[in-house]
Amino acid sequence: MLPKTPSFSLAGKSALVTGAGRGIGLAAAASLAQAGAVVTLASRSENELAEASKQIRQEGGKSHYIVLDVTDSHAVNHAVAANGPFHILVNSAGMNRPKPLSDLEDGDINAVFDLNVKAAFYLCRAVSKCMLQAGIPGSIVNISSQMGHVGSPRRTVYCATKHAVEGLTKALAWELGPHGIRVNTLCPTFIETAFTADMFGAPGFREWVTDRIALGRVGRVEEIMGAVVFLASDASALMTGSALMLDGGWTAA
């Protein structure tokens, strides 16, 4: 008898996606809903969340949303306890303030670390605690970056935060593995979103980026969706503590 491909279906699963009002977070939420999960969208922007959740439901998916400041650990704990337990967490909230190190203010450093690192810790802690209490297996997907594996000018803070997320992921994979909870990162290259629009508007920047991507182009949000479902589903059941590169070949150089 031939072996059967593990299922990519997420039917019967519940998922929490942060930064879900737009960009990569919205694409991640849509992909999970399309795979059958009940998805809770979270961010600080209620109008965006309401519209995104509405569109998911109009397409036949199951979606709710919560307005949440993920940098507030008490708010995170309360929201997860009130809405969980979740089988899936996608930590997608993030930011960047690209500047030379000499131009960075303390406020820049604190803001990027608060959202990219501390919030990821808060969400991983709260969601995994509920998973353990409920005795359920699960999958945590931390949206990292190719910049979690390389360096780049004007991105000292961003690279530092994404390297930190990679370390968090590897350590947590060992903590949670015996309980059937997997933890991985997804590492995109530059993706066309509102987040990157200003950067691509700078003269010569797009060319600088595409010269470093083997495929010769930047990514689209749709191109992260299959990878999110893969990491969330049984199709990646043996994968934990790993980084899934969606960098068009950037780190292959």
User: Which active-site residues does the annotation give?
Assistant: 158
Phi-psi label, residue 249: left if phi above 0, alpha if psi -120 to 50, beta otherwise = left
Alpha-carbon distance of 244 to 182, in angstroms, equals: 13
Alpha-carbon distance of 165 to 94, in angstroms, equals: 11
Query: Given the structure tokens 């309360």, which residue do they identify?
Result: 78
Give the residue from 13, 58, 18 showing the smallest Cα distance to 41: 18
Task: Pull the structure tokens for residue 208.
Answer: 């600088």
Question: What is the rounded radius of gyration, in angstroms, for the C-alpha atoms of the chain?
Answer: 18
- Is beta strand 138-143 parallel, antiparallel or unpaired with respect to 88-91? parallel
